[in-house]
Structure 1
Amino acid sequence: MHTLTQLRNGELKGAATLKLSEDLSQFPEEIFELADTLETLDLSGTGLSELPKDFGRLKKLKVFFCSDNNFTYLPGELGDCLTLDIVGFKSNKIETIFPKSINCNLRWLILTNNKIRELPSTIGGCTRMQKLMLAGNRLTDLPETLQNCRNLRLLRISANRLNGLPDWLLSMPKLSWLAFSGNPFVRSPKIEALDLISWTDLELKHILGQGASGIIYQVRRNSRVLAEQLAVKVFKGEVTSDGLPEDEMNTCITAGLHPGLVKLVGQISNHPENKKGLVMELIPSNFHNLGAPPTLESCTKDVFPEGLKLTSEKALKIASTIASVAAQLHNKKIMHGDLYAHNILIDNDCNTLFSDFGAATIYENPLLEKIEVSAFGYLLADLIGLCRVDDNNLTVEKLRKLQKKCQQELPNLRPRFESIAMELG
């Protein structure tokens, strides 16, 4: 974090990264003094509503975050920065996107939680685009030119006003992570009743984790003779980059029981702020995330601890469990939407749990399963990369052949999860 005083005093001369968080009435002109070196600029939460006309002077700028501000339009000046790679204007008041605002060099664009009704056709010029995040807007359709973005891997369009998915979207060659819950065309699942557990019967111990959709606590349930150690996820109730928390809760319940899923115990009731939540079995402390979420550099690719290696048999065990879980989900017409190593928990023996339904969606079109199969192909590539060089070549080759099947450019040629699970045993 930096301050405006540091900037004005010249203390940040030569900086490649600048992050300001104090209130700004206008864009600080002193930022231009860093034009020869500045690559990452974060002005989120500063109250800005416009950019200067000569914003393009930041000729080396690659990453620009301007979320939680007061913009009512996506600035056209963004198109003047030829090196821009990532742009984030989450949670502004954007209603309009000018054609010039779409910088064709972009690889990652975040416009979550605005008031956007229409995307300009110029979005089709973003041939490098891998990640496009549009959840929580007012879109009624997607421009046909978006199909020209053939490198698009992740698309978030939940909580909009879409009446359907265009046919061309389902044939995009690299699309692998798609979330579209909370739109008019998505049916609401018939939810099985879970036991109601009163908030007053839960004793909060400590926070286990926190994400965009909610907070997970370790709790003790005191309503029985023997107190139980459990976990509870309390949903925040706000739209996230993936979609609506209510959809996450509904798909999590619909998923049902599976050894590779965390077992649900019930739903909370009588929360003092009327929040919703799920009570689940406590994941043993020896479980940990297989990978970490993508970085700004890796974009759609998970990252892994340096030196992490798996035997080919352990890699196969992880892949087999996830394929089995995915087969059950898709038999229930659930697309997880975020099939990634960072949402997979393993222990030292590679017993495996699949988590985080924040991007999950109930669907109708069977072709949607083939999109998630591509995501599984990326997971296989990660697992193959983690295998020891001197390990069982036959098992690795088996995984490699399956990966190629899963990532064929024509989605309808990819296998279903049911056959993948059978092949992996």
Structure 2
Amino acid sequence: MQTLLQLQNGELKGTVELKLSENLTDFPLEIFELADTLEVLDLSFNKLSALPADFGRLSKLRIFFCSENHFKTMPAVLSDCPLLDIVGFKSNQIDTIPAMALNRNLRWLILTNNNIGELPEEIGLCKRLEKLMLSGNRLATLPGKLSQCENLALLRIAANKLHELPSWIATMPKLAWIAFSGNNFSKTPAVEKLSAINWHDLEISHVLGEGASGIISKANRTISDEIQEVAVKIFKGDVTSDGLPEDEMMAYIAAGFHPGLVNLIGQIALHPEDKKGLVMELIPHHFYNLGLPPSLASCTRDVFPKDRRLTVQQVLGIAKTIASLAAQLHEAGIMHGDLYAHNTLIDDEGSTLFGDFGAASFYNQLDSQLGAALQRIEVRAYGYLLDDLLTLHAQPIAGTALETISALRTACLLPDNQKRPGFKDLVAALAKI
């Protein structure tokens, strides 16, 4: 992170990326001196409420983050930057989106946790849009013209006030990841509670990881005179880009037992800050993440370590486990919403563990048409996973097994939602390999 003083002293000349967070109340005009080179600007965690009228002077700007500020209206001047394709205004106070603010070059738009009650129909003009983050707003409807954004692959609309999921959702040719929990039409069914585990019977050791919804730590659990090593997830309780932590916890519990899931042991009781949490089996040390989350460049597709290579055994193990688990989830009326390699843990033998229910949503199983459409949206995400697996195999596709998986990948990625196989079909096809 750079400083305002460095900027004012001319020390940042030629800078391509600039990040300033110093409780700024006014846009530093010295930024314009970087107009010939500046491509990435991050002014998050300030107190800004407006941008200058000549913001478009930043003609090379591609990425602009302005989260955790005081904006009430999304600035119309964003359209004046010809190359701008990633914009983030998470956690402001935005209640108005002028049509002019929607730069037609946008590929990724983040408006999570604001007060937006309506989106302009002009969003349909953003033909490049791949990723749209709208969770935690006041949307009662989605504009019909959004259906014209044919490149849209990831949509987050959880924790709004939507009365229904529009029928055109099923016609989106590239939509693969969607989260919609916490809306008027999305009802969480009664979920049987897990065994209560007293917080005082847990000795927290160290943090294993942190996500948008919570923190996972290693812990020792005392049972009578025995010590059990476990993992503990404590939910933060805030709206995330994917949805509500409460919905995540309920979906995980409702998923039930599956060998591809980290087994749940119980729910936290008597937390000193009354926070919700889960106790899980500790994942063995020999498991590792298959992939990494999408980058700013890849947008909706995972990225992978350069040295990641998979054997045929691993490809088959991962493909079969995830298909089986996804079939079980949809049998229970659960849309995972985040079926990705970065949520997948594997070992060298192809054993697979899948998790992170942060984007999970319940849907009405009695509505067979909706259920089929949602399942086949998730099937497209599975198709991208198969594509990743085949790429990571890094050898010519040969032999019955890989040829079958290649054919399934093609079927899962068909633009027509209705022509894709269901997860039961995929499980049956993979069982023949």
TM-score band by shorter chain is over 0.9
User: Which whole-Å CA distance do the structure 2 matches of 1:226 and 1:33 have between them?
Assistant: 65
Deviations 1:202-252 (A, max 9, x none): 000110110010000111111322110001100000000000000000000
| 1:391 positional shift | 6.7
The unaligned stretches of length 5 or more in structure 2 are 365-369
Please show how residues 335-346 of structure 1 align to structure 2 within 5 Å: 335-346=335-346
Identity %: 59
- What corresponds to 2:388 in structure 1? 382
Deviations 1:31-73 (A, max 9, x none): 0000010000000011111000000000000000000000001
Q: Which region of structure 1 is more displaced relative to structure 2, 287-296 or 222-231? A: 222-231
Secondary structure of 2:124 counterpart: helix
2:397, 2:403 within 8 Å by CA — same for their partners in 1?
A: no
| 1:388 positional shift | 3.2
Runs of 4+ in 1 over 4 A off after TM superposition: none
| 1:347 positional shift | 1.1
| 1:269 positional shift | 0.5
- What corresponds to 2:168 in structure 1? 168
User: Which whole-Å CA distance do the structure 2 matches of 1:392 and 1:124 have between them?
Assistant: 42
Deviations 1:89-140 (A, max 9, x none): 0000000000100001000000000000000111000000000000000000
- What corresponds to 1:254 in structure 2? 254
| 1:412 positional shift | 1.1
Query: Is 1:413 matched up with 2:390?
Result: no
Query: How many residues get paired?
Result: 425
Q: Give the partner amino acid of 2:428.
A: M
2:70, 2:93 within 8 Å by CA — same for their partners in 1?
A: yes
Please show how residues 11-26 of structure 1 align to structure 2 within 5 Å: 11-26=11-26
- What corresponds to 1:400 in structure 2? 406
| 1:193 positional shift | 2.1
1:312, 1:392 within 8 Å by CA — same for their partners in 2?
A: no
Please show how residues 280-319 of structure 1 align to structure 2 within 5 Å: 280-319=280-319
TM value normalised by structure 2: 0.97
| 1:392 positional shift | 4.2
| 1:394 positional shift | 2.9
2:316, 2:350 within 8 Å by CA — same for their partners in 1?
A: no
- What corresponds to 2:271 in structure 1? 271
Q: Which region of structure 1 is more displaced relative to structure 2, 383-392 or 263-272? A: 383-392
Secondary structure of 1:5 counterpart: helix
Q: Give the partner amino acid of 2:203.
A: E
1:337, 1:372 within 8 Å by CA — same for their partners in 2?
A: yes
Please show how residues 153-302 of structure 1 align to structure 2 within 5 Å: 153-302=153-302
User: Which whole-Å CA distance do the structure 1 matches of 2:224 and 2:291 have between them?
Assistant: 37
2:313, 2:349 within 8 Å by CA — same for their partners in 1?
A: no
User: Which whole-Å CA distance do the structure 2 matches of 1:236 and 1:29 have between them?
Assistant: 37
Deviations 1:230-289 (A, max 9, x none): 011000000000000000000000000000001000000100110000111000111111
Query: Is 1:4 matched up with 2:4?
Result: yes
Secondary structure of 2:223 counterpart: coil
User: Which whole-Å CA distance do the structure 1 matches of 2:262 and 2:140 have between them?
Assistant: 36
- What corresponds to 2:378 in structure 1? 372
User: Which whole-Å CA distance do the structure 1 matches of 2:34 and 2:195 have between them?
Assistant: 58
Q: Give the partner amino acid of 1:98.
A: P
Query: Is 1:424 matched up with 2:426?
Result: no
| 1:351 positional shift | 0.5
- What corresponds to 1:84 in structure 2? 84
- What corresponds to 1:145 in structure 2? 145
User: Which whole-Å CA distance do the structure 2 matches of 1:311 and 1:229 have between them?
Assistant: 31
- What corresponds to 1:111 in structure 2? 111
User: Which whole-Å CA distance do the structure 2 matches of 1:403 and 1:391 have between them?
Assistant: 12
Secondary structure of 1:97 counterpart: coil
Secondary structure of 2:208 counterpart: strand
User: Which whole-Å CA distance do the structure 2 matches of 1:144 and 1:164 have between them?
Assistant: 13
TM value normalised by structure 1: 0.99
- What corresponds to 1:59 in structure 2? 59
User: Which whole-Å CA distance do the structure 2 matches of 1:25 and 1:321 have between them?
Assistant: 51
User: Which whole-Å CA distance do the structure 1 matches of 2:397 and 2:408 have between them?
Assistant: 18
User: Which whole-Å CA distance do the structure 1 matches of 2:313 and 2:259 have between them?
Assistant: 19
The unaligned stretches of length 5 or more in structure 1 are none
1:134, 1:156 within 8 Å by CA — same for their partners in 2?
A: yes
| 1:390 positional shift | 5.1
Secondary structure of 1:96 counterpart: coil
- What corresponds to 2:367 in structure 1? none
| 1:312 positional shift | 2.1
Query: Is 1:354 matched up with 2:354?
Result: yes
User: Which whole-Å CA distance do the structure 2 matches of 1:194 and 1:91 have between them?
Assistant: 33
Taking only aligned residues, the RMSD between alpha carbons, in angstroms, comes to 0.9
Deviations 1:186-213 (A, max 9, x none): 1112111210001011000110110010
User: Which whole-Å CA distance do the structure 2 matches of 1:147 and 1:363 have between them?
Assistant: 21
